[in-house]
Amino acid sequence: MSDRVSTRQRRLLLEILRETGSHLSAKELFRQAVQRDPRISLASVYRNLHLFEELGLVDGKRLDRNCCYYEVKRSRQHYDLVCNCCGRVTEFESPLIEKLVGEVQERTAFEVTKAVLYLEGYCKQCEGQSKKP
Amino acid sequence: MSDRVSTRQRRLLLEILRETGSHLSAKELFRQAVQRDPRISLASVYRNLHLFEELGLVDGKRLDRNCCYYEVKRSRQHYDLVCNCCGRVTEFESPLIEKLVGEVQERTAFEVTKAVLYLEGYCKQCEGQSKKP
DNA sequence: TATTAGAATAAGAATAGTTCTCATTCTCAA
DNA sequence: TTGAGAATGAGAACTATTCTTATTCTAATA
Ligand SMILES: [Mn+2]
Ligand SMILES: [Mn+2]
Ligand SMILES: [Zn+2]
Ligand SMILES: [Zn+2]
């Protein structure tokens, strides 16, 4: 597994992802990486994020129209809550998703390999903003 | 509502979306529109898709990394199953999603305004392909 | 019907995220 | 130490989408 995480660049990128703990865009990851190793290139960031995903080390999620956000994969599956107002991302777990997937597989004979799910709305700090422009 | 759907271009775009019944990308919608009205522009497609979304006539969903897919909004909410192999999109409904949203709102005090959900996998015709490259 | 102000359009330039290309550099097994 | 193959950096290319602006259209009014 970590067999293939053998270059300076890969070690650095994983390190940052692990320290940060959540939801970095490629651009932001690049920004942080450059501070520690000015020679790293954006191409390496993308290249290695794809590799990490293939290796199952990292999860990439599209939490908005613009770009993908990456985070180290944890043992427990979770989903995200994205605030329309402040942009903060919080997380939740629920057995209902597994249940939903099970039901769909039975009912439709579709073999599910991945559930893409996130919820948009307003976090506690931003509540009431929903009526604003 | 249809007040503002008053131009030649808007009528044509809605017509195509309604006839097709599902899941057109902006590009594909433009391709079809050009056949009936060679003077229409891609900018009008995007401009009016956004308008239709605001008016609640159309739903835009990002079903893959690349682009948004649009379909006329129907009375009953549904979610999509996207086949990794042939790309076909099928649909399903389930009360579990509403239930999930309710639970999350109670548990986390996050006010949900939208659930973004689709399932990836293999459709009946493509089953068994999951072990392939 | 003619006028006209404001809305919408076409065309293409601009932008942003991502992927690709390829010459150069690195890694590691022999 | 060497050399083959893997990985990188730099920037070009690509793709979906948004923006800009001169022109055209719409619809309310006279
Ligand atoms: Mn997360
Ligand atoms: Mn659908
Ligand atoms: Zn917030
Ligand atoms: Zn299929």
Q: What is the CATH number of the domain that holds B49?
A: 1.10.10.10
Q: pLDDT value at position B5? A: 77
Question: Is residue A106 pLDDT above 70, yes or no?
Answer: yes
Query: Whole-structure pTM over 0.85, yes or no?
Result: yes
* Greatest Cα-to-Cα distance within chain B, rounded to the nearest angstrom: 53
Arithmetic mean of pLDDT over chain B: 92
Picking from A46-60, A115-129, B49-63, B105-119, which range would have the lowest pLDDT averaged per residue? A115-129
Is B111 found in the same domain as B69?
no
> Over the stretch A27-64, which tens digit does the pLDDT of each residue have?
999 999 999 999 999 999 999 999 999 999 999 999 99
B15-50 residue pLDDT tens: 999 999 889 999 999 999 999 999 999 999 999 999
Chain B residues lying within 8 Å of A101, measured CB to CB: 119
Which pLDDT belongs to residue A131? 52
Q: Do B95 and B41 touch, CB atoms closer than 8 A?
A: no
In this prediction, residue A127 carries a pLDDT of 82
Q: How many folded domains does chain A comprise? A: 2
Residue B131 within any structural domain of the chain: no
Q: Which B residues 96-115 touch A at CB under 8 Å?
A: 96-97, 99-101, 103-104, 107-115
User: Does residue B130 belong to any structural domain of this protein?
Assistant: no
- Collapsing DSSP states into helix, strand and coil, what is residue B77? coil
Same structural domain, B98 and B69: no
The reply to whether A64 and A84 lie within a common domain is no
Gyration radius of chain B's alpha carbons: 17
- The reply to whether A116 touches chain B by the CB within 8 Å rule is yes
